[in-house]
Structure 1
Amino acid sequence: MVMSLGQGLWMAINAIYAVTVVHLTPGQLGVSVSVAAAIVLVCSIPLGHLADRTGPRTVQMWSFLASAPLTAALLFVSGFWTYLVVVSAQAIAYRAGRSARKAMIAGLILPADRVSVLAYVRAASNVSVSIGACLAGLVLAAGSRLGYQGAVLFTAVAFLLTGALTAREPRVPPVPATAGSALAVLRDGPFLTFTILDGLLTTHALLLDVVLPLWVLRRTDAPRWMSAIILVVNTVLVVGTQTKAARGTDTPAAAARASLQGAGCVAVACVVFAMSDEAALVPACLLLVSGALAHALGEVRQAAGSWAIAFDLAPDHAQGQYQGTHAMGADLGKMFAPAVFTWLVLEHGALGWIVLAVGFAALGTAMPAVVSRGVRMRSGSDPVISTG
């Protein structure tokens, strides 16, 4: 939970740090996130395969240890190109750890309990995230360069401590090389289709991390620390509802319905955020908090559906590879979403939010049919699928 504390702090100030301290434009920030996502995209399958072959605990530990100096390096970036290099390296380290974490859960937890365990882990992590967001509110309220730099160092130390603590976790044995090739997942059409669709849907996370902090600054009369308040609302609600939201996702069809429901809530949140365009102080704050509530409800339901489908459609001998591939979907979305979302929302205001609402609703509507087709193919009704 130490890492979650640092993440909560950094998530709330990340975009504002890049714009106010590093002096990037919103467009440069969006391009940086997009390029980092593109780099990670090509690394995801090899990193997941590495977790299968060398053991996920080892990969996760070193990913955290590498993230510490990479985060501290942000203190020394002075422009777009150095920022781009650092955040790209950070993204690779983070992806290695994320794929390894899910492979560890798959190796240590029975299939029927994996989603509920992830839900409990996420709920507990969000307690720490909310504390970190509160600290971020103080940093943002002060608005000093020294405060931002202290937040960067705090996050780096959190990664370092988490890497040390990871060495004490149970060991999951590596998978023998004879279990399958490193690229077997690329022949699994249904899983790849789900990965793309789910990845586009999970771009809703960028609304809180990138879009809303800039929206608060540029298009409303709300104070800048409202971005931290929004994150607190999100994390508190996740803590209280994630385990409940994970219920009823024990089959791929039920999980697909959960994704649809989550997408609907996110679409509603976008409509509410649209109503805050150029709103006065009090109405803007109320609308932003209301939108954050709807977004959080959508997030927990969509996440539960996503986890269940990703585990159910992946063979146990290649969980690292498949979970790494599943994460590629989010990377695919991040390649275009930061720049497109910031352009839509900051340049077109309420209309941009409405376009996003329609997009998320369409993605959620398509999910049940896509997953149903994948289940039919995996059960043998369509012989073209091959997983090894």
Structure 2
Amino acid sequence: MAIPTPSAASAARRPTPEPLPAPVRRVYAVQLISAVTDGAVLATVVLYFSTRVGLPAASIGLVLALAAGCALVTAPFLGAVADRAGRRRAAVAHSLLIGAALTVYLVADDLWTYAVGAVVFVVAQAGAGAVRHALVASYVGPERRVRARAHMHSLLNAGLGAGTVVGAVVLAVDSRSAFLSVYACGAVVALVCAALLHGLPRAADGRPAPRTGGGRFRAGTGALRDRRLVTVTAATALLQLYMPVLSLILPVWVSTRTEAPMWVCAVALGLNTVVVLVLQTPWAARVRTDRGAARSAVVAGAALLLACGLFGAAPLGGPFGAAAVVLVGIVLLTLGEVAAGPSAWHLALRRAPADLQTQYQAVFGMAGALARILGSALVLPLVLSQGTPGWWVLGAVTAAAAGVLALLARRGGRTG
């Protein structure tokens, strides 16, 4: 008779991972295919409306800032409405609004029509993300929420990467019909997503959020009154400054202050996507306790600080030296992104009340919108005016934000 080896015995004792429920797999599919649309739209929309429609670049920037502000302000309210009216219904509604916004892009030929489409698109996109995360969280236990959120994040990055490739092809073709085909296909994809979400079980709507005095439900204040959630969201907004660094600040810095070739920026985006896809879910699987969240936050702060230092040093080298420094910095920046996410998700969402899932997801999602606003309004001018010291200031801010998360985790997520 064969005697089991220690490794075989330990493998036999290891619990088999519980299969994902079918509704979660459906939401994962929606997350991926909708992210492809988002990537293609984001890669083309500014150039389309500036070069083909003829809108001033400054006006487009103001519209995008207005849209981000609207998404930020409406997030708690839309989360409360979703918890009250039903998450499945809200997810379907947001997908339909995204399709409507892309349809507006097809016919927009002036600033005001474009502004309507852009505001609806950005607000609906933010709302859709919060509801999808809430749908997944309602089907998995608290101990699996961080890993599920990480998988959603990986799918988002994969879809955005694929969509960016589609956008690059459209930009290379550079014809009006190519641009419009992106928005037409995007509208169709939004309808498909709405149909997939409508096919979820009615139980996915969840229990209605509780009412308070006077029969009125808590319009977002249930989550906003949670000091731990608000603190984590604020710290996460500072950590997520890596998003405008990657998409806006670093390309401007590389093109105006270094000798690195411009292809470095495209390679940086691809490298970021690959590293996130490889590391995000395994890393999140290791963050199961407050102590693990604290360690992850410390790694994130150190990595982001070093990345900013390298970006600041890039002008000191020649073309190849600067390119190498930037790419090493991108690896560190992405490691910071991978480590920051699970720490923040653990602290903000693991203990979210079941009947307020979408409110919590929506309030936490405000961090991304706030990071984008801060990145374009404050960080870009800081880096361009101060140069290398500006990068170190940015690194210190992100490291301090990571320190706040680590401190909260060490205290068990309490704010006092």
> TM (normalized to structure 1)?
0.83
* TM-aligned CA distance change 1:11 to 1:270, over 3 Å: farther
**1:192-249 CA distances to partner (integer Å, 9 max, x unpaired)?**
2222122222232122233334444444455555443322211111111111110332
Considering Cα pairs closer than 8 Å and 6+ residues apart, tell me whether 1 or 2 has the greater RCO: 1
**1:67-122 CA distances to partner (integer Å, 9 max, x unpaired)?**
12313434555676655443322221012212211211221111111121222333
Aligned partner of 1:107 among 126, 133, 138: 138
* TM-aligned CA distance change 1:248 to 1:24, over 3 Å: farther
> Offset of 1:48 from its aligned partner?
0.8
Percent identity of equivalent pairs: 29
Partner of 1:51: 82
Aligned counterparts of 1:232 and 1:95: Cα–Cα separation in 2:
24
Aligned counterparts of 1:300 and 1:228: Cα–Cα separation in 2:
20
Conserved in 2, the CA contact under 8 Å of 1:141 and 1:224?
A: no
Q: Which runs of 5+ in 2 are unaligned?
A: 1-31, 213-217
Partner of 1:261: 299
Aligned partner of 2:285 among 241, 247, 251: 247
1:288-303 pair list within 5 angstroms: 288-303=326-341
Partner of 2:342: 304
Conserved in 2, the CA contact under 8 Å of 1:270 and 1:353?
A: yes
**1:14-42 CA distances to partner (integer Å, 9 max, x unpaired)?**
666676666654x6665444332322222
Partner of 1:235: 273
Partner of 1:324: 362
1:136-285 pair list within 5 angstroms: 136-140=167-171, 147-171=178-202, 172-178=204-210, 181-182=218-219, 183-220=221-258, 224=262, 226-277=264-315, 281-285=319-323
> TM (normalized to structure 2)?
0.78
Mean Cα deviation higher: 50-59 or 272-281: 272-281
1:7-18 pair list within 5 angstroms: 7-13=38-44
**Structure index of larger Rg:** 2
* TM-aligned CA distance change 1:263 to 1:58, over 3 Å: farther
* TM-aligned CA distance change 1:279 to 1:5, over 3 Å: farther
CA RMSD across the alignment = 3.1
Conserved in 2, the CA contact under 8 Å of 1:127 and 1:239?
A: yes
Mean Cα deviation higher: 55-64 or 28-37: 28-37
Conserved in 2, the CA contact under 8 Å of 1:344 and 1:352?
A: yes
* TM-aligned CA distance change 1:285 to 1:69, over 3 Å: farther
> Offset of 1:51 from its aligned partner?
1.6
1:59-70 pair list within 5 angstroms: 59-70=90-101
Aligned counterparts of 2:160 and 2:44: Cα–Cα separation in 1:
13
Q: Does the alignment pair 1:339 with 2:377?
A: yes
Count of aligned pairs: 377
Aligned counterparts of 1:349 and 1:16: Cα–Cα separation in 2:
28
Mean Cα deviation higher: 329-338 or 15-24: 15-24
Q: Secondary structure at the match of 1:128?
A: helix
